[in-house]
A and B are shown apart, each in its own frame.
Chain A
């Protein structure tokens, strides 16, 4: 009997809490402590979601039914929609072109001089780190309220978003075609035009369309801070507490963004599927 008991093997080591489990538990605990601590520091009270939920219900009740008649009765709204879309479109396009041009100065294989490359790269880095709010607020002071400031802010923002992407894409091109073109005596410009541009164009076009979607959302947000357009209309309706109007505008924004996403998706697929860009 006792012999049989002693024959039972000891608990195998893999049943005990493994190092991995202990490490993960430690990680989870650290994250939990951090969350509770920073929540307390911020005064973030998650139970508000339950105790104050009736305020959310009250607001929702005030918003329903949406004042959809506003959408065709208020004629200035059409201009606001057009302004918002125009801001996003022009900002993306100008920012994209400028970024593509500058990217050749920031890519190691096309930059005229390493110093130029370092300067342009630093510019891109700085631009990328600057939140759009800062650019927009500074520009609103410089050129005054309105869509022009919004357009400039989105242009500068797109430049930061694209610059690094495009110059990285240029650096990663296949060297076969560039060497082939250069070996028959092409100038630097001809190498760019016939060997590099065809390789990076699909990714450039794809990114430009993606950026348009991002910029459309930003154009609305910047409008709230004074760049005009739909965001401004929404801000106005909120200030005077006309919540049925607010809901109608929010619905309009959701439909506009979804529709624009569809359109840009369709166009992107047509363009990139096309041989001329491949």
Chain B
């Protein structure tokens, strides 16, 4: 009798143990099925698509090396767009970060600042760029601005959170000797958040280089624009050269940001 009851409860326990993973797998499977249908994935077409893909890949070879000299300047433009946008984005983010920190800003300032940071986080940079291009026309200005504004969502939130985590005793000790708000920021807040901030800014530069390739195709200029142009004019061999230049550019930016990080920071501390 005890064994039967034990067996029954064990069986029930077994079902209970497997019920949740089973249901999760079922839901996941349904979601995958539904998404695959929406994305028009069909396994029958995968074979022909692969053949077509290899055939299309052939269009891109060999790269047209004669285009290389004309592509170097756009590559430089892409890099510089990111380089100018990064410190600008940092400045904007510091503003939003200070305004969004609970222990520094009054509530009437903090709420809208946090709201704007949240909205910016949810707004893809490409959309910011398209809106700016619609207002101002194409050119480097909307490109740089879109990248700089795009930093607010990530850096602004990091800064605001970092400031809120500062030990209140540090702030109080500076305020207790009569420091003004600006002096508090300068001598208590900035030194605390600076190392992490610099590391994140340098990382952001890397992100910005990638983004500026993407934004370039939509009107910010640079190598992304050249690539998009070559593709839409069916000059695939020229596009291949642009792709190789872009790869070198992104790889170089990664190396540069590694180098800068090591140069500026020493084991999490400012050098």
Chain A contacts to B: CB under 8 angstroms? 31, 34-35, 38-39, 41-46, 48-49, 52, 55-56, 58-59, 79, 82-83, 85-87, 89-90, 93, 126, 129-134, 137-139, 141-143, 146-148, 150-151, 217-218, 220-221, 224-225, 231, 234-235, 238, 243, 246, 250, 253-255, 257-258, 261, 276
Contacts and interface: CB of A to CB of B under 8 A. Distances in A.
Contacts of B53: 139, 142-143
A198 to B, nearest CB: 15
Nearest to B53: A142
A221 B210 CA distance: 13
Contacts of B125: 221
Given A45-B141, A49-B145, A56-B135, A147 B80 contact: no
B154 to A, nearest CB: 11
Interface string B204-240: 0000001001100110000010011001000010010
Interface residues of B, number: 61
Given A148-B40, A217-B124, 5 more contacts: A39-B84, A55-B136, A86-B38, A220-B126, A253-B122
A85 B56 CA distance: 28
28 contacts: A35-B83, A42-B80, A55-B135, A55-B136, A56-B135, A56-B136, A59-B134, A126-B247, A129-B254, A133-B214, A133-B227, A134-B213, A141-B236, A142-B56, A147-B38, A148-B39, A151-B41, A218-B124, A221-B124, A234-B127, A238-B130, A246-B131, A246-B134, A253-B122, A253-B123, A253-B124, A254-B122, A257-B122
A185 to B, nearest CB: 27
User: Is chain B's binding surface mostly helix, strand, loop or mixed?
Assistant: helix
Given A142-B49, A142-B56, A221-B124, A48 B130 contact: no
Contact of A35 (B81, B84, B121, B218): B84
A132 B214 contact: yes
A131 B38 contact: no
User: Is chain A's binding surface mostly helix, strand, loop or mixed?
Assistant: helix
Contacts of A79: 38
Contacts of A250: 123, 127, 131
A221 B214 contact: yes
A50 to B, nearest CB: 12
Contacts of B31: 89
Given A44-B144, A89-B35, A143 B49 contact: yes
Contacts of B136: 48, 52, 55-56
B41 A224 contact: no
B39 A48 contact: no
A251 to B, nearest CB: 10
A258 to B, nearest CB: 5
Contacts, number: 156
A99 to B, nearest CB: 17
Interface string B15-43: 00000010000000001101110111100
Nearest to A84: B38
Contacts of B32: 90, 93
Nearest to A149: B39
Contact of A141 (B56, B228, B246): B56
A147 B132 CA distance: 26
Nearest to A219: B124
Interface in B142-196: 144-145
Contacts of B59: 141
Contacts of B56: 138, 141-142
B259 interface: no
A220 B127 contact: yes
Given A44-B144, A147-B40, A90 B227 contact: no
Nearest to B214: A133
B65 interface: no
A141 B40 contact: no
Contact of B77 (A42, A87, A132): A42
